Amino acid sequence: MPPAAIDTTSQLTSAGVSSALSKTAHSLTNGANGVSGVQLAELDASRITSTYTASPRPVPVPGSPEIAAQNICTDHMITAKWTVKEGWHAPALQPYGPLSLMPTASCLHYATECFEGLKLYRGYDGKLRLFRANLNAARMLNSATRIALPAFAPTELLKLIMKLCATDGPKWLPKDEPGSFLYLRPTMIASDPALGVQRPNEALLYVILTCFPRLDAPTIGADGSPQGMKLLASGDDTIRAWPGGFGHAKVGANYGPSLVAQGEARKAGYNQILWLFGDNCEVTEAGASNFFVVWRTRSGATELVTAPLDRKIILDGVTRRSVLQLVRERLSESTENVQGLDIVERNIQMDEIVQAAGDGRLLEAFAAGTAFFISPVQEIHFRGTDIRVPMTAGEAGPYTKQIKTWLSDIMYGKEHHEWGIVVEEQS
Amino acid sequence: MPPAAIDTTSQLTSAGVSSALSKTAHSLTNGANGVSGVQLAELDASRITSTYTASPRPVPVPGSPEIAAQNICTDHMITAKWTVKEGWHAPALQPYGPLSLMPTASCLHYATECFEGLKLYRGYDGKLRLFRANLNAARMLNSATRIALPAFAPTELLKLIMKLCATDGPKWLPKDEPGSFLYLRPTMIASDPALGVQRPNEALLYVILTCFPRLDAPTIGADGSPQGMKLLASGDDTIRAWPGGFGHAKVGANYGPSLVAQGEARKAGYNQILWLFGDNCEVTEAGASNFFVVWRTRSGATELVTAPLDRKIILDGVTRRSVLQLVRERLSESTENVQGLDIVERNIQMDEIVQAAGDGRLLEAFAAGTAFFISPVQEIHFRGTDIRVPMTAGEAGPYTKQIKTWLSDIMYGKEHHEWGIVVEEQS
């Protein structure tokens, strides 16, 4: 496993979640922050204090414009402060509201900030579920320490996430609306009120829960048929990430610098940038999602191909990882109806995609991530050429559709699976 | 001039500052932010409102620990809000204090933030001066638009900077303490309370003025003699910037990801990282400063060498530019006492420095930037080798010393020069 990969020792399952969530003695805080000889407090979800809102807010109607605007949060948030001298303070569940930061705060100048994105699902069996949230918590630890933010035991973050979901989930994801979800955003920022360019001495971890639109639903084209994503391949003057950089970490620094290119792509009618790397135009990510293609090789094999993690220039996506695991378990053998998929993690050059499309060997392509879930790609514009990806009646191809259905069934409790972590609701 | 370079049309001089500060009709706001057909308000310093503090704070004593902590700001700050619908709101001079940001604010997640660093000097002639602040204002525009933050006329930002200096300078830089300075930090952050990964719809520009320690003063070694900077060359697993990235822009995303390496360097006894790039270990920046060497070539010429701007992986430093201009004007011809310097902007490989040091041809090295001013380098540790840079009795070599003196004389009004912009003080 490359160093960028998620720590699989924290792969909690639904069944094992209670025992595994017992406090682990990580003692990470001291080691990672350079204060030796002092026992600093660890992040400890059991010390949480709760203050409930006196002004509960209305839940927006499904499909309303506020949801598309991505600016409605639920009634509460969780915060936990850290200082280099004392370690982690007791976390607090409190009413959602503004943060007060000094204008000198490190995170406002030096991008000392990282985050996670995951969803809380209201299942068809009436239960609330997270999907492999243990992987998000572990990745957040990797991201935080990449930018000199404090370490913590991922299981403690997971407990805080579950506490917020247990509190606000029942109201904001009503039982009579199965198939709906909210978006969780654990965030950590350096809050030092001092301009020195140095490791932060203060930080704030917080978790918020927001209304979020479905981004994987196909848009409807001018002819009334559903449309897949249209991607614009990045030019050679804009590179998202580089070996030795931080493209594998979910840190703020990967996003702001991508927005100009993304804005230009949208203006030109594309949904996202397809980020390329190197002289051979290797495909890395689609927007902020991982990218997959399904093609037939010249020797007749059918492959599911995605970029590898070894150069640390792409995110080790939870959806990416889940797609690979499911295909390995369920789609690698040919059946009567379906040809088995060979899984290949390697650098894909744009020329290979162009050739496969030209030969009629390009079968499907999709973006995979939490926000966009599994979104079929219909077109890639690369240096003056439009590459069309076949779509069945404007919808995802059969492999993409099958993978998406399996994942969705686990998320919404149609299939009981260890990846679906049930959240006990607070009454 | 490469695209990364500062717009020299805004090179204001002391003499020309009043006329050049007249409002320019840039109309940048509309163009850069994609709202067409609507006349948005430009940043306009003349619309400023002023609210003075009712609780003025004490000025720390020179040399006190609060100054070293870099967390004391002056009594006031300037803020200006921008929205995509209206453009720039009227700026406000107001008491220094915390900002209120929603937990969803773009700058806390996506590093949609940029800044500038410059100093306000109390001259030996009793006057307050900025040093080429027009270049900082122009660079801030470049940085802002690189990360999809709104455009503005740099001259308006310069007027806001001067307003803050005029207000707080008289008290915080007393006339009876010539040779002192404060540090200015113009900052822009995206304040959108929405999690969408997209061009910001709201932003806040602010300018603060802080007490700042002298970082160019030599530290005193164990033997009581002054010490130059000790630099640790970066390993090949960490790079600061890459072509097609944003290393030339003063955006937050260049800083947070550098802090782990910097923290390790400090723990190992070094002052800063010397950032290398590429298979040939080319020298780019020293910490957050530009890097210069003076060496003798094998053919006997004496060269001042620094990395070029063309790949856009280093900052187009105001101090860097000023060093090059002064040396070109004043040190390029040999005199009776001094051999003239050839100026060379090109990639320097570490092997060349190692060889020059081994041959006795490495004469001087220094870091150049606003925070560290001109700081002589005494040692570079590169892959197991300590490269010693000659220092005269532990102090800067003669070229470094001469350059530093010239710059300092302009900053503190010992030499009247167009680069020194006098700030009229508000009584």
Q: How far apart are the first and last CA of chain B?
A: 42
CB proximity under 8 Å: A 115-144 to B: 115
Question: Residue B210: helix, strand or coil by DSSP?
Answer: strand
C-alpha to C-alpha distance for B328 and B155, rounded to whole angstroms:
28
Q: Which residue of B has its CA nearest to A76?
A: B103
Q: What residues does B119 pair with on adjacent strands? A: B183
Phi, psi (deg, nearest 5) at residue B387: -100, 120
Per-residue model confidence as pLDDT tens digits over A36-89? 556 899 999 999 999 999 999 999 998 888 888 888 999 999 999 999 999 999
C-alpha to C-alpha distance for A195 and A200, rounded to whole angstroms:
10
Q: Is A268 on the interface with B (CB under 8 A)?
A: no
pLDDT at A316 over 80: yes
* Per-residue three-class SS string for chain A: CCCCCCCHHHCCCCCCHHHHCCCCCCCHHHHHHCCCCCCCECCCHHHCEECCCCCCCCCCCCCCHHHHCCCCECCEEEEEEEECCCEECCCEEEECCCEEECCCEHHHHHCCEEECCEEEEECCCCCEEEECHHHHHHHHHHHHHHCCCCCCCHHHHHHHHHHHHHHHHHHHCCCCCCCCEEEEEEEEEECCECCCCCCCCEEEEEEEEECCCCCCCCEECCCCCEECEEEEECCCCCCCCCCCCCCCCCEHHHCHHHHHHHHHHHHCCCCEEEEEECCCCEEEEECCEEEEEEEECCCCCEEEEECCCCCCCCCCCHHHHHHHHHHHHHCCCCCCCCCCCEEEECCEEHHHHHHHHHCCCEEEEEEEECCCEEEEEEEEEECCEEEECCCECCECCHHHHHHHHHHHHHHCCCCCCCCEEEECCCC
Phi, psi (deg, nearest 5) at residue A150: -70, 150
- Topology classification of domain B219-411: D-amino Acid Aminotransferase; Chain A, domain 2 (3.20.10)
Closest CA to A319 of A288, A359, A364, A362: A288
**pTM score, two decimals?**
0.92
* CA B279 to chain centroid: 28
Report chain A residues whose CB lies below 8 A from the CB of B262: 197-199
Report chain B residues whose CB lies below 8 A from the CB of A111: 111, 113, 251-257
Candidate from A101, A196, A198 with C-beta closest to B101: A101
Between chain A and chain B, the number of residue pairs with CB atoms below 8 A apart is 225
Candidate from A108, A187, A267 with C-beta closest to B103: A187
pLDDT at B18 over 70: no
CB A318, CB A131: distance < 8 Å: yes
Least trusted range by pLDDT, from A20-29, A188-197, B73-82, B88-97:
A20-29
Binary contact (A244, B252; C-beta < 8 A): no
Q: Is B189 on the interface with A (CB under 8 A)?
A: yes
Q: Is B145 on the interface with A (CB under 8 A)?
A: yes
Q: What residues does A185 pair with on adjacent strands? A: A208
C-alpha to C-alpha distance for A138 and A5, rounded to whole angstroms:
10
pLDDT at B152 over 60: yes
Candidate from A238, A256, A287 with C-beta closest to B110: A256
Dihedral over alpha carbons B72, B77, B83, B89 (to 10 degrees): 180
C-alpha distances in angstroms, A18 versus A14, A136, A332, B417?
8, 17, 33, 71
- Among positive and negative, which fits the CA dihedral A175, A180, A186, A187? negative
Instruction: Return the amino acid letter for A232.
Output: L
Closest CA to A122 of A113, A134, A131, A114: A131
Question: Looking at residues B91-113, what average pLDDT do you find?
Answer: 98
CB proximity under 8 Å: A 193-252 to B: 193-200, 206, 208, 210, 212, 236-239, 242-246, 251-252
Distance from CA of A178 to the nearest CA of B (A): 24
- pLDDT of B331 reads 94
Domain assignments of chain A as residue spans, ordered by start: 13-210, 219-411
C-alpha to C-alpha distance for A352 and A354, rounded to whole angstroms:
5
C-alpha to C-alpha distance for A292 and A295, rounded to whole angstroms:
10
Report chain A residues whose CB lies below 8 A from the CB of B312: none
pLDDT at A350 over 60: yes
Binary contact (A256, B252; C-beta < 8 A): yes
Helix (H) or strand (E) run with residue B141 in it: helix B133-146
Q: Which residue of A has its CA nearest to B100?
A: A100
Q: Is A185 on the interface with B (CB under 8 A)?
A: yes
C-alpha distances in angstroms, B328 versus B284, B332, B334, B344, B402?
21, 5, 12, 11, 13
Candidate from B69, B147, B196 with C-beta closest to A194: B69
- pLDDT of B379 reads 95
Query: How many Cα atoms are found within 13 Å in the side-chain-facing hemisphere of B34?
Result: 17
CB B210, CB B183: distance < 8 Å: yes
- pLDDT of A222 reads 74
Closest CA to A231 of A380, A424, A15: A380
Instruction: Return the amino acid letter for B387.
Output: I
Using alpha carbons only, what angle is made at residue A233 by residues A231 and A237, rounded to the nearest 5 degrees?
145
Q: Which residue has the tokens 């595994």?
A: A20
Closest CA to B232 of B385, B381, B24: B381
- pLDDT of A338 reads 85
CB A155, CB A20: distance < 8 Å: yes
Domain B13-210 falls under CATH 3.30.470.10: yes
CB B40, CB B158: distance < 8 Å: no
Distance from CA of B212 to the nearest CA of A (A): 9
Name the pairing type of β-strands A373-382 and A362-369: antiparallel
pLDDT at B20 over 50: no
Distance from CA of B271 to the nearest CA of A (A): 11
Q: Which residues contact B351 (CB under 8 A, 6 or more apart)?
A: B280, B281
Helix (H) or strand (E) run with residue B345 in it: strand B342-345
Dihedral over alpha carbons B197, A262, A255, B248 (to 10 degrees): -150
C-alpha to C-alpha distance for B303 and B361, rounded to whole angstroms:
10
Q: Is A277 on the interface with B (CB under 8 A)?
A: no
- pLDDT of B69 reads 84
pLDDT at A17 over 70: no
Report chain B residues whose CB lies below 8 A from the CB of A210: 104, 195
Closest CA to B265 of B379, B111, B400, B351: B379
Closest CA to A304 of A203, A402, A380: A402
Q: Is A36 on the interface with B (CB under 8 A)?
A: no
Q: Is A267 on the interface with B (CB under 8 A)?
A: yes
- pLDDT of B67 reads 87
C-alpha to C-alpha distance for B375 and B342, rounded to whole angstroms:
21
- Among positive and negative, which fits the CA dihedral B411, B414, B418, B420? positive
- pLDDT of A160 reads 98
- Residues of chain A above pLDDT 90, percent: 81
pLDDT at B273 over 90: yes
Candidate from A69, A98, A288 with C-beta closest to B102: A98
C-alpha to C-alpha distance for B97 and A89, rounded to whole angstroms:
24
- pLDDT of B4 reads 39
Binary contact (B193, A71; C-beta < 8 A): yes
Q: Is A3 on the interface with B (CB under 8 A)?
A: no
Per-residue model confidence as pLDDT tens digits over A21-43? 333 333 444 344 445 556 899 99
- pLDDT of A392 reads 65
Distance from CA of B112 to the nearest CA of A (A): 5
Question: Looking at residues A278-295, what average pLDDT do you find?
Answer: 96
Name the pairing type of β-strands A342-345 and A348-349: unpaired
Report chain A's C-alpha Rg in angstroms: 22
The DSSP letter of residue B41 is B
Per-residue model confidence as pLDDT tens digits over A112-169? 999 999 999 999 999 999 999 999 999 999 999 999 999 999 999 999 999 999 999 9
Binary contact (B263, A198; C-beta < 8 A): yes
Per-residue model confidence as pLDDT tens digits over A185-237? 999 999 999 999 999 999 999 999 999 988 887 777 777 777 899 999 999 88
Distance from CA of A164 to the nearest CA of B (A): 15
Binary contact (A260, B196; C-beta < 8 A): no
Q: Is B260 on the interface with A (CB under 8 A)?
A: yes
The confidence band for A269, taking pLDDT boundaries of 50, 70 and 90, is: very high
Binary contact (B210, A196; C-beta < 8 A): no
CB A267, CB B122: distance < 8 Å: no
Report chain B residues whose CB lies below 8 A from the CB of A198: 259, 262-263, 266
Question: Residue B420: helix, strand or coil by DSSP?
Answer: strand
Report chain B residues whose CB lies below 8 A from the CB of A70: 104, 194-196
- What mean pLDDT, rounded, does chain A reach? 90
Name the pairing type of β-strands B373-382 and B385-388: antiparallel
Closest CA to B95 of B75, B68, B124: B75
A13-210 and A219-411 agree in CATH topology: no
CB A149, CB A188: distance < 8 Å: yes
C-alpha to C-alpha distance for B148 and A257, rounded to whole angstroms:
8
Question: Looking at residues A376-404, what average pLDDT do you find?
Answer: 89
Candidate from A101, A112, A245 with C-beta closest to B239: A245
Phi, psi (deg, nearest 5) at residue B289: -120, 160
Closest CA to A272 of B198, B84, B259, B163: B198
Q: Which residue of B has its CA nearest to A253?
A: B253
Q: Which residue has the tokens 């709760």?
A: A50
C-alpha to C-alpha distance for A412 and B68, rounded to whole angstroms:
55
Per DSSP, helices labelled H in B148-307 are 154-172, 259-267
Report chain A residues whose CB lies below 8 A from the CB of B210: 104, 195
Binary contact (B99, A103; C-beta < 8 A): yes
Report chain A residues whose CB lies below 8 A from the CB of B70: 104, 194-196
